[in-house]
């Protein structure tokens, strides 16, 4: 049985790309609706800034809409295309870079000076709808990954039916997750060795 829980622990941009999985029945989008997006954001909560309230909250309105989900999906596609090219040492397509830049400019980060109790603090705050701010944050993480020479080490999982990407901390890492694809590969090898017994 395929584990359809989103993988976490890679750079945020790769975690986003990894919300598209393969199953025996075909590809599955783990962010297919707003509820799944909210669940994914809970998994990523320690890596995301606290959500900022909307300037004029509307009654009976969820924090994320289908339009917000579409913005996240668009950024995810741009990240996937750009990372795939960059990890192979190629120039990412202009459309992917333009898409990331568009997401960044739709919710620019505005520096804010504050007081932290003992010292002046400098933070940034993005403007716009929650989904626009989220898409910009994800695009910013992708930009940092794409600008990092480590992007050349991003690998796809070696499992035949897996489409997940990872940034290996160890050069011998072969699987997106030892508990998922690594275990399945070991079980398959064991089965092949003992098939004729």
| Chain segment 146-179, per-residue pLDDT in tens | 999 999 999 999 888 888 999 998 888 888 887 7
In contact, 79 and 16? CB cutoff 8 Å:
yes
Residues 116, 132: Cα–Cα separation, whole Å: 27
| Nearest-angstrom CA–CA distance, 50 and 101 | 23
DSSP E strand boundaries for 31-167: 109-115, 120-126, 155-156, 165-166
pLDDT of 98 higher than 50: yes
- Alpha-carbon gap, residue 34 to 15, rounded angstroms: 17
Average pLDDT in the 112-118 region? 92
Mean pLDDT, to the nearest integer, of 70-81?
Answer: 97
Q: Which residues pair with 110 in a beta bridge?
A: 125
Residue from 183, 182, 180 nearest 4 by CA: 180
Predicted local distance difference test score (pLDDT) of residue 12? 96
Share of residues in the chain with pLDDT > 70 (%): 85
The CA-based angle 16-22-26, given to 5 degrees, is 130
The domains of the chain, with CATH numbers, are: 12-194 (1.10.3300.10)
Of the chain, the end-to-end C-alpha distance in Å amounts to: 25
What's the sign of the alpha-carbon dihedral 167, 172, 177, 182? positive
Whether the pLDDT of residue 20 is over 90: the answer is yes
For the entire predicted model, the pTM comes to: 0.84
pLDDT tens by residue, 34-68: 999 999 999 999 998 765 544 454 444 457 899 99
* Residue 123, helix vs strand vs coil: strand
pLDDT reported for residue 55: 47
**Does residue 122 contact residue 109 with C-beta atoms inside 8 Å?**
no
Q: How confident is the model at residue 192 (pLDDT cuts 50, 70, 90)?
A: low
């Amino acid at each position: 049985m395929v584990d359809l829980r989103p993988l976490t622990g890679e750079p945020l941009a790769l975690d986003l790309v990894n919300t598209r999985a393969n199953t025996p029945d075909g590809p599955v989008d783990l962010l297919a609706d707003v509820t799944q997006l909210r669940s994914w954001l809970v998994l990523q909560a320690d890596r995301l800034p606290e959500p900022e309230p909307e300037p004029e909250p509307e009654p009976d309105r969820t924090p994320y809409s289908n339009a917000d989900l579409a913005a996240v999906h668009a950024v995810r596609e741009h990240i996937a295309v750009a990372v795939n090219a960059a990890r192979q040492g190629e120039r990412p397509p202009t459309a992917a870079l333009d898409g990331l830049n568009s997401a960044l400019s739709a919710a620019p980060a505005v520096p804010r000076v504050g007081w932290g109790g003992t010292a002046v603090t400098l933070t940034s705050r993005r403007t716009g709808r929650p989904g626009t701010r989220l898409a910009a944050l994800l695009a910013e993480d992708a930009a940092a990954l794409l600008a990092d020479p480590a992007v050349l080490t991003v690998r796809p999982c070696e499992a035949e039916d897996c489409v997940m990407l990872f940034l290996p901390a160890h050069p011998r890492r072969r699987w997106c997750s030892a508990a998922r694809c690594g275990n399945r590969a070991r079980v398959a090898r064991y089965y092949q060795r003992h098939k004729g017994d």
